[in-house]
Structure 1
Amino acid sequence: MALNLVTGYKGRDHITAEQWADFNRGIFGEAAILPVGNKMAVAIQTANQITVKDGVAVFDGREVYIGYGESENITIQSGTQGMQRRDIVVVKYTRNEETGVEEVAFEVVNGLPASSNPEDPVYQNTDIRTGVFVSQKPFCRVRINGTAIEGIDMLVAEKKFKTVAFTGNYNDLSNRPALKAVATSGSYNDLTNKPASLPAEGGNAATVGGKNTETLQNYNNLTNKPKLGSAASQGVANNFTTNTAGYVADARTVKQLKDGLSAKIVSESGNISFKDGGNGESYGYITIPSGYEMLAVYMQEVSGNVKLRCKGFNKNAGTGGYTVWLDFAINSNVFMHWIYAKI
């Protein structure tokens, strides 16, 4: 079976390094240095030595690690006076062809000296996931000028995770949307898109701007009013008997109807005994309660019986039972599912 459950209990050791590596690769990509410790920073020690500090990196999902307080020294071949060279430090992955044991180690791939514009050497950067036995993952470039190390270029980017503000101040957020200003002084005059006029003293005045309060209190006479949908002017029906146009159903009524329908539809399953009926067919019997009608019958997939298919079913008069047909001759139990409803 190609599909496997990885993060689940199986009663035995079953999670493989390959599965875990694929999970890491989906999160971190092909290569990344994680924000842990000194992030595998590289420092120049002498003309012939660099040091990689502690941290964690991931290559094709394989996690490599230098523990806290530890570091690793790497020897660099001496340069030539008047010449330049580019060396590539790689993380060399190997898998033993006989035992399958996997290992990693730093390795220096030397470039060719040149008087100017030296080129990077060729290295074997193959996808570990394909099952290779050796792969060289580029880690950093060492630039050598004469007999000195001129500089180091990291070839693996740090995986940076987005941060969020924890101060409670909206202005601390990055990429925040531009919000429109609203009135905060409590003055009606600070509002934008406000109606041209309102009834004076909360609607107690006789007229405002030549309009009486009855006119102003009519929704249709308001300016800048929102556009309402057609449902806003409909009545609400909270029963199952209303059949007049101009009403919308109460949500509680709709739920009650749905619950009632769900209670009338039944799904069952179990082993059904089938017998050879001739002509390359088999038949079995399913009985359902009185007052119900069969809606559908389908079968559980049976490994190896790729030709076994449910052909159909028919009701047996006066018995409340149904005959189910398979389009394959068989004399055994088959796990079936059937759905029936109260009519």
Structure 2
Amino acid sequence: MASSSDAVEAITLTGKEVSASIDAYLFDALYSVDGIFTKGNQMEASIVSNNKVRIADGLLINQGHFLRIKPGMYCDVPIENGTQNMKRCDCIVAQFKIDESGESHDIVVIQGTPGEQETVPSLTKDDLENGGALRQIELFRVHLNGINISGVDRIARTVNSFSDAIFYKG
């Protein structure tokens, strides 16, 4: 590991702008977990049709980067048609991506491969703090049996607020 005077960085709010990467670094240090907060409707998923899953409002964290569905709103996630007499498992993920056009944080579907058995698709979990450019955290698994969605399972961890983690509310 190299050392130089450029490696030390004061993080203050006085007279200096805090970058998104510093913000994410701090929140990752505080929470050290990816998942969905106990806020709003906690991004509850419901099946709307065989081609659509609806995710309710809530807040998630992905290596210190936040993404929210605004209170009282929802996000409809399109699911590609299933295949007759085949099973498939799709993953609904929070995807943080860094490329030449900048940074993006979206909810996307990683489609599985149809077959006799469900196979969970591979996800990319780059370390964004160390040069990684793509980080996908699994929120839900969508199970397809033929052309029908047979179920949606929440996979993401629940992230408690500091208050819930520290104080007993009995």
Please report the TM-score for the alignment, with normalisation by the length of structure 2: 0.85
Which of 1 and 2 has greater Rg?
Answer: 1
Match status 1:84 vs 2:87: yes
Distance in 2 separating the partners of 1:164 and 1:91: 31
What secondary structure sits across from 1:18 in the alignment? helix
User: Equivalences for 1:64-143 in 2 at 5 Å?
Assistant: 64-97=67-100, 101-115=102-116, 117-143=117-143
Per-residue deviation, 1:74: 0.7
User: Equivalences for 1:225-304 in 2 at 5 Å?
Assistant: none
What secondary structure sits across from 1:19 in the alignment? helix
| 1:235-281 superposed Cα distances (whole Å, 9 cap, x missing partner) | xxxxxxxxxxxxxxxxxxxxxxxxxxxxxxxxxxxxxxxxxxxxxxx
Question: Does the 8 Å CA contact 2:62/2:96 hold for their aligned counterparts?
Answer: no
What secondary structure sits across from 2:123 in the alignment? coil
Structure with greater strand share of residues? 2
**Structure 1 outlier segments of 4+, above 4 Å:** none
Distance in 1 separating the partners of 2:131 and 2:93: 19
Amino acid at match of 2:81: S
| 1:33-73 superposed Cα distances (whole Å, 9 cap, x missing partner) | 11111111111111110011111100010011111121111
Q: Which runs of 5+ in 2 are unaligned?
A: none
What is the count of residue pairs matched by the alignment? 161
Choose which of 132, 155, 168 in structure 2 pairs with 1:164: 168
Distance in 1 separating the partners of 2:44 and 2:64: 20
Question: Does the 8 Å CA contact 1:6/1:14 hold for their aligned counterparts?
Answer: no
Structure 1 vs Structure 2: percent identity of aligned residues? Answer: 25
What secondary structure sits across from 1:69 in the alignment? strand
Choose which of 34, 45, 48 in structure 2 pairs with 1:45: 48
Amino acid at match of 1:119: T
Distance in 2 separating the partners of 1:71 and 1:154: 16
Choose which of 5, 9, 16 in structure 1 pairs with 2:10: 5
What secondary structure sits across from 1:129 in the alignment? helix
Paired residue for 1:154? Answer: 154
Distance in 2 separating the partners of 1:164 and 1:107: 36
Question: Does the 8 Å CA contact 2:126/2:133 hold for their aligned counterparts?
Answer: no
Distance in 2 separating the partners of 1:79 and 1:23: 41
Per-residue deviation, 1:28: 1.9
Q: Give the number of the structure with larger relative contact order, counting CA–CA contacts within 8 Å between residues 6 or more apart.
A: 2
Question: Does the 8 Å CA contact 1:59/1:137 hold for their aligned counterparts?
Answer: yes
Q: Please, which moves more after superposition, 60-69 or 81-90?
A: 81-90
Please report the TM-score for the alignment, with normalisation by the length of structure 1: 0.44
Calculate the aligned-residue CA RMSD, in Å: 1.8
Distance in 2 separating the partners of 1:107 and 1:14: 31
Distance in 2 separating the partners of 1:55 and 1:14: 27
Distance in 2 separating the partners of 1:30 and 1:125: 13
Question: Does the 8 Å CA contact 1:110/1:121 hold for their aligned counterparts?
Answer: yes
Distance in 2 separating the partners of 1:94 and 1:8: 26
Distance in 1 separating the partners of 2:42 and 2:89: 23
Per-residue deviation, 1:85: 0.7
What secondary structure sits across from 1:27 in the alignment? helix
Distance in 2 separating the partners of 1:58 and 1:135: 11
